[in-house]
Amino acid sequence: MEYWTPKYWEEHEQECETILKDQNSWDQVPDLNSIPSSELKDGMFVKYTGMIQDMLNPVFYFDKYEVLDRKTQSKHMYSGRFKESLFCQNGFHFRSNLRARMGIILGLHNGDIGFDTRDLEDPNFHKCYICGKFFARWIVRGTERLVFDVNTLCDDCFKKYNYVNDISSEEIASTRKDLKLLLTQLLMGDDVAADYLICYLLSRVYCRDEVGFALGKFSLNIFHRDLATSCSDYAQMLYDILKLLVCKSHYFELNVKSLNETTMIPRKDYNTNRLKSGLLQLSSSTYLILDEIHLQPGQLNNTGCLNVKALSSVVNNQRMSYDFQFYDGTFPTDIPVLSLSDTKSMLPSDCHIKLKPDPSCSSVIRETFSAAHQYLKPELLNKIRTYISWIQNRGFDIPENLTEIVQKDFVEMRKENKKTDANDLHTLIVLARLMSLSHGHSELTEDMWKVALAMEKERKSR
């Protein structure tokens, strides 16, 4: 693919697209994120890893254009794709991006001097004449153009990036054992909370039902009254470990000041025609860790109230509302949320678990975190990362015979506690699913269902 030029792509487009469907070929394409600028060449074929943050207006450009030499009356046809400017004779170049405004095609310009396409007869541009066919391409579509400031990238192949690696059953068992040992120590000897944290790390929204309910979401709140006194920066230290285990993560200290002053909700600015990003505009599978340990009572302003509402929507429904000023646009999200607090979180969560520290562990918590960093050698980190990514992308089934057992147990739960509802059942099924997957199982077994029931019974008894 080193010889792929814009001209070669245009002449062999179907062949090139077929080649790129092969994962090995795709992996060989140079990554623009990591290539030194000194190695970049004009017309170089590259791939780019990123998040689509905004959808701009359509960009119009010449798919093909014809240049007429007024002196010789000869005509030459050129391609306008993959170019920032249109080549004309005698060294003239024109900008190729043509934006629509008020129904008139504007934007052809030479350098910083703009002119209307109706001005092509201007004496300053008498040496050539351009005629061409306009094509509109939406910026965000995978097979269309992506424009980044001055540089133009034509995204002809789009792939959603998934981290999938093979892992044996023996590696699953040993890696889970190492991960639970690590998390148990970081959670002050609480092995039950460690299992819940493992499930949180493995969780993802795997589908949505007909009403949009996010199946698979698993938000978690771990709390204990002594977290603030025993270790003031406990949440930050735990995050510093967790961010080593996952691909994408974000830490946010939740307090009245940060809620009142932080822009969490993306907002459309019609003056610049840009979407101003907010803290919650995170890509899928970005782990959001909220530090509520030092949250104190206070007065929330309008921004703070909207931020709390937005956070609750992400935690509860995995949905995010964007502010388009005249209306709100709701978009699905997949942001696993972990909140750490000294009392039960002010935000809703699928599971609130009270930490049950071992005094022998809580007294040496700083030393434990220091040892954890030493324990996480590169080889073990790679094993844990592979384990998490592999589990997240694995399929899972619930056999019919287990469906009957689940229904029967749910009826019994309703008899014991009338407040038990469908959300409790969903959380229990997700927990059983994640616990099964964490042990390498691709379907629910009765034993793992009983393990999940026991975990929930222990959690609720605290």
- The whole-angstrom separation of Cα 59 and Cα 268 is 19
- State whether 427 and 387 are in the same domain: no
- The whole-angstrom separation of Cα 218 and Cα 337 is 8
- State whether 225 and 319 are in the same domain: yes
Establish if 75 belongs to a structural domain.
Answer: no
Provide the pLDDT for residue 90.
53
Show the beta-strand stretches assigned E in 309-444. 319-323, 328-332, 337-341, 351-354
- State whether 416 and 352 are in the same domain: no
Provide the pLDDT for residue 327.
87
- State whether 257 and 142 are in the same domain: no
- State whether 113 and 42 are in the same domain: yes
Establish if 185 belongs to a structural domain.
Answer: yes
- State whether 113 and 214 are in the same domain: no
We report the CATH number of the domain holding residue 259 as 3.40.50.300
Domain extent for 410: 395-461
Establish if 389 belongs to a structural domain.
Answer: yes
Provide the pLDDT for residue 164.
57
Establish if 178 belongs to a structural domain.
Answer: yes
Of 364 and 96, the structure prediction assigns the larger pLDDT to: 364
pLDDT at 82 over 60: yes
- State whether 42 and 145 are in the same domain: yes
- State whether 226 and 337 are in the same domain: yes
Provide the pLDDT for residue 41.
80
Establish if 72 belongs to a structural domain.
Answer: no
Residue 109 phi, psi (nearest 5): -155, 160
- State whether 264 and 377 are in the same domain: yes
Provide the pLDDT for residue 446.
94
Provide the pLDDT for residue 60.
59
- State whether 370 and 418 are in the same domain: no
pLDDT by residue (tens digit) across 330-354?
A: 999 999 999 999 999 999 999 999 9
User: How many domains does the chain contain in total?
Assistant: 3
What CA–CA distances, in Å, run from 238 to 75, 107, 127, 195, 364?
Answer: 68, 52, 67, 15, 14
User: What's 243-284 look like in SS3?
Assistant: HHHCCCEEEEECCHHHHHHCCCCCEEECCCCEEECCCCCCCC
Kindly give the residue spans of alpha helices, DSSP state H, lying in 70-123: none
- State whether 264 and 133 are in the same domain: no
Show the beta-strand stretches assigned E in 151-195. 151-154
Query: Is the backbone of residue 102 left (phi > 0), alpha (psi -120 to 50) or beta?
Result: left
Provide the pLDDT for residue 444.
95
pLDDT by residue (tens digit) across 121-170?
A: 333 333 333 333 333 322 222 222 333 333 344 445 566 655 556 788 99
Band of pLDDT at residue 193, cut at 50, 70 and 90: very high
pLDDT at 105 over 60: no
- The whole-angstrom separation of Cα 363 and Cα 366 is 8
The count of residues in the chain is 462
Establish if 189 belongs to a structural domain.
Answer: yes
pLDDT by residue (tens digit) across 398-451?
A: 998 899 999 999 999 998 888 888 888 999 999 999 999 999 999 999 999 999
Provide the pLDDT for residue 226.
82
pLDDT at 386 over 50: yes
Question: Region 371-392: what's the mean pLDDT?
Answer: 94
Provide the pLDDT for residue 278.
93
What CA–CA distances, in Å, run from 283 to 16, 44, 213, 249, 454?
Answer: 29, 28, 19, 10, 34
3-state secondary structure of 206: coil
Of 17 and 110, the structure prediction assigns the larger pLDDT to: 17
Strands 145-148 and 85-87, sheet pairing: unpaired
Provide the pLDDT for residue 309.
95
- State whether 149 and 174 are in the same domain: no
Torsion of CA 196, 199, 203, 207, to 10 degrees: -90
Establish if 242 belongs to a structural domain.
Answer: yes
Establish if 10 belongs to a structural domain.
Answer: yes
Q: Rg of the Cα trace of the chain? A: 28
Mark which of 393, 428, 453 sits at the end of a domain: 393
Mark which of 159, 191, 206 sits at the end of a domain: 159
Provide the pLDDT for residue 89.
53
pLDDT by residue (tens digit) across 227-256?
A: 877 788 999 999 999 999 999 999 999 999
- In the chain, the percentage of residues whose pLDDT exceeds 70 is 79
Mark which of 358, 393, 428 sits at the end of a domain: 393
